Every structure is written in structure tokens, then in C-alpha cells.
Structure 1
Amino acid sequence: MADRFQHQAQQQIHGQQPSSTARQVVKATTAVTLGGTLLMLSGLILAGTVIALCVATPVMVLFSPVLVPAVITVGLVIAGFLTSGGFGVAAVTVLTWMYKSMTGQNVPNQLASKAKDIKEHLGGQAQAQTRSIA
């Protein structure tokens, strides 16, 4: 039994592949099946959306005097919280920067001082080499 399966697998590996027309038929069948299914689903979703819109429109019209101000209020509250949070983050960032700047822990200051040290070191070496050449 296992020998038969192994023999079939070896035949498939060693060149007994389906013809190009059979592949095209399988591709076309798969495309039509999937395309039809997706087209059917899109039609059902469209129908469901139209039905939900027909049901929801009268409810929205009846409750619009309450819903519109509620949506505006919720939007303003969310905008206020986001603005407050943004200003809080900005304030903490500025205070941290000021603290690091005053205590000398500021990274740009450290980089500038290190660059100055390297420049002085290399400048001294360049002058010494210039003197030795001249």
C-alpha cells in the first residue's frame, strides 16, 4: 500500500503533470466560483445596507433634535481631552528639556563639548605636523 503511494508520488514529481488546458480549466472554474461567491456577498451586503438605512432614517429624523447636539457635545469633549493631553505632553517635554539643560545633562551640550575637545586635539596635532614639515 505504501509502495503504491510512493510510486504515484514519484510519477507526479518526475514529469506527469497535468496539461496546460487542464490547468486553464481549473483556473477558470476557481475564478468563476470565487467571483460569483464574492459578487453574491456584495449584493447581499448592499441589500442589507439599504434595508438598514430605510429602517434607521425615520429613527434618525425623530431623534435628530437630541442626537445632533449630543454628537457635537461628545466631539467637543473628545477634542478638549486630546488638546489637554497634547499640551500636557508638551509641558512635560519642555520641563524635562529645561531641567537637563540647567543640570548639564543636555545631549546637544555634551556633543558640542566633545566636538570642541576633538577639534582642539586635532588642531594641536595639525599645528605640530605643520611645524615639523616646515
Structure 2
Amino acid sequence: MADPQHQQRHPTQNLLQQKGGPSTSQVIAVVTLLPVGGVLLFLAGLTLAGSLIGLALTTPLFLIFSPVLVPAAITIGLAVLGFLSSGAFGVTALSSFSWIVNYFRQAKGPAKETMGFMRDRAKEAGQKVQDTARS
């Protein structure tokens, strides 16, 4: 049978069975955090109450002015959508132009070689025609 002194204990059991009670740092943490938590909870309740009162007061105004507010919101939404799509089209156009410029820059080297080759072939063909005409 295992010795009771060597049995493993859960860490919370060690805290609960400490001789001498909680440490000074634990007491200070509880003393400082309890009022802070209470104040924050109170402020959260005030904020909730203020939000509910504001909603109760403004709901009739929203219902009365909804024939104006709904079309205004739709108009503003469409305007924002137009500006965003305009910007997206502009960025797309700039990136397309950039791609085209880079493509032609890279294609310039092989094109020069091809043009030089074609020029040499044209000169040879012209020489052949001249030689044939002289003979």
C-alpha cells in the first residue's frame, strides 16, 4: 500500500491545506481587484441602462422618420459602394498596365534578336535577288 505522505495531491488541495492561510500577495490581489471589478460591473450596468433608455426614446423617432431614413441609408450605401468599386477598378487598371509594361520589357530582348535575324535574312534575300538579276 502506498504511503499517504507520498500520494500526489491536486494543486488546489495544496492551496486549501496550506498552514498559515493565504499569502500576503494573494490578499493584496483580492483587496485591490475586488473593488476594481465592482466598479467595472457597476459601469457596465449603467451603460446597459443608458443604452436601453436611449433605445426606448429614439425608437419612435426612427419609426416616424423611417420614410426618409431608409432611402437616405440606401443612397449613402450605394454612394459608398460606387466609390469603393471605382477604387477597385482603378487599382485593377493600374496593375494591368504595370503587367503589360513588364511583359513588353521582358519581351523586348527576344524581339530585338528576332528583328536582327529577320534583317539579316532580308539582306541575304536582297543579295540573292541582285545576284540573280546581274547574271
Q: TM-score, normalised by structure 2?
A: 0.60
| One-letter amino acid of the structure 2 residue matched with residue 34 of structure 1 | V
SS in 2 for 1:104: helix
Which has more radius of gyration?
A: 2
- 1:67 aligns to what? 69
Cα distance in structure 2, aligned partners of 1:40 and 1:33: 10
Residues 5-60 of structure 1, C-alpha deviation per residue, up to 9 Å, x if partnerless?
A: xxxxxxxxxxxxxx953322211111211110110000010011011101111111
- The structure 2 residue matched to 1:26, chosen from 28, 34, 42, is 28
Gaps of 5+ in 1: 1-18, 110-134
Q: 1:86 to 1:20 in 2, by over 3 A?
A: same
- The structure 2 residue matched to 1:85, chosen from 84, 87, 101, is 87
Cα distance in structure 1, aligned partners of 2:87 and 2:41: 46
What's the C-alpha RMSD, in Å, of the aligned pairs?
A: 2.2
Q: TM-score, normalised by structure 1?
A: 0.60
Gaps of 5+ in 2: 1-20, 110-135
| One-letter amino acid of the structure 2 residue matched with residue 59 of structure 1 | L
Structure 1's consecutive aligned runs of 4 or more residues displaced over 6 angstroms after TM superposition are: none
- 2:37 aligns to what? 35
- 1:76 aligns to what? 78
Cα distance in structure 2, aligned partners of 1:79 and 1:36: 45
| One-letter amino acid of the structure 2 residue matched with residue 68 of structure 1 | V
SS in 2 for 1:62: helix
Identical-residue share of aligned pairs (%): 44
